[in-house]
């Protein structure tokens, strides 16, 4: 899952970056509203963490522009505890939820998981399909009743595919889920992770669709 973090405070931003990366999210961090606008127009994100008080262009303006483009990406706004008016304005401008600063990190992570779940059209907290299950809250995976150890990137590939069984994702789409700007992408990285997953989950759990990409079949 790829997240955009919009935060101008260097200490808060650095701390959030570390926490989110430790949870295996691919994160891009921008520090003003203009950079946020351009990142949102050029990249595909699964979720945006948006501070409202930002240099150059305020968070509310960024949010309104995003929704005016009809972008459906979930947005979690971050506001000060006493700024009730900001929270209401943010929700009315198209934010999906908010967190209060200073953050309770566990609550922040739980809200992110809930939004990602809802944006995938699911209510249940565990992904389960054809004998394989993933629990994003505990980072535990199972295949056919046995625990399976997945690397962070194997997890990211599997999560992207299992969210929508039957949907084919191209290598480029999977790379977007896996890497943020600063990472180097080796040309066969996705193939390597898929290969690792097949060894752990069984050869046919992820199928190759020639010329198109990969799919977790519906049945």
Q: Which residues bind Ca ion (CB under 5 A)?
A: 8, 51, 53
CA–CA separation, 140 vs 158, rounded Å?
Answer: 13
Min CB(102)–Ca ion separation in Å: 13
- State the residue number with the nearest CB to Ca ion: 53
CA–CA separation, 126 vs 123, rounded Å?
Answer: 9
Contact 39, 2 (CB under 8 A): no
If one counts every other C-beta atom within 10 angstroms of the C-beta of residue 134, the result is: 20
Min CB(146)–Ca ion separation in Å: 46
CA–CA separation, 93 vs 61, rounded Å?
Answer: 9
Kind plus residue range of the DSSP H or E element containing 5: strand 2-6
Residue 53 or residue 202: which is nearer to Ca ion going by CB?
53
Query: Which residues in 159-177 are b (16+ Cβ under 10 Å) and which e?
Result: bbbbbeeeeebebebbbbb
Residue 32 or residue 140: which is nearer to Ca ion going by CB?
32
Residue 95 or residue 150: which is nearer to Ca ion going by CB?
95
Token pair in block for residue 34:
């203009």
Min CB(53)–Ca ion separation in Å: 4
Min CB(198)–Ca ion separation in Å: 44
Min CB(6)–Ca ion separation in Å: 9
Residue 11 or residue 149: which is nearer to Ca ion going by CB?
11
R_g (Cα) of the chain, nearest Å: 18
State whether residue 159 is helix, strand or coil. Answer: helix
């Amino acid at each position: 899952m790829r997240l955009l973090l919009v935060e101008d405070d260097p200490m808060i931003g650095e701390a959030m970056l570390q926490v989110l990366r430790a949870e295996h999210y691919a994160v891009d961090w921008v520090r003003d509203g203009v950079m946020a606008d351009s990142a949102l127009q050029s990249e595909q994100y699964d979720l945006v963490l948006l501070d409202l008080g930002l240099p150059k262009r305020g968070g509310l303006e960024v949010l309104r522009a995003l929704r005016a483009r009809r972008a459906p990406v979930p947005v979690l706004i971050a506001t000060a505890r006493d700024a009730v008016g900001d929270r209401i304005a943010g929700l009315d401008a198209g934010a999906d939820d908010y967190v209060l600063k200073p953050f309770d990190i566990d609550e922040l992570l739980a809200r992110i998981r809930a939004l990602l779940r809802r944006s995938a059209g699911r209510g249940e907290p565990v992904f389960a399909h054809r004998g394989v299950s993933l629990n994003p809250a505990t980072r535990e995976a199972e295949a056919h009743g046995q625990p399976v150890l997945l690397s962070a990137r194997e997890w990211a590939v599997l999560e992207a595919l299992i969210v929508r069984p039957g949907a084919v994702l191209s290598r480029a789409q999977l790379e977007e889920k896996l890497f943020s700007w600063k990472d180097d992408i080796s040309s066969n990285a996705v193939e390597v992770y898929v290969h690792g997953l097949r060894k752990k989950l069984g050869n046919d759990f992820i199928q190759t669709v020639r010329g198109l990409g990969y799919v977790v079949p519906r049945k």
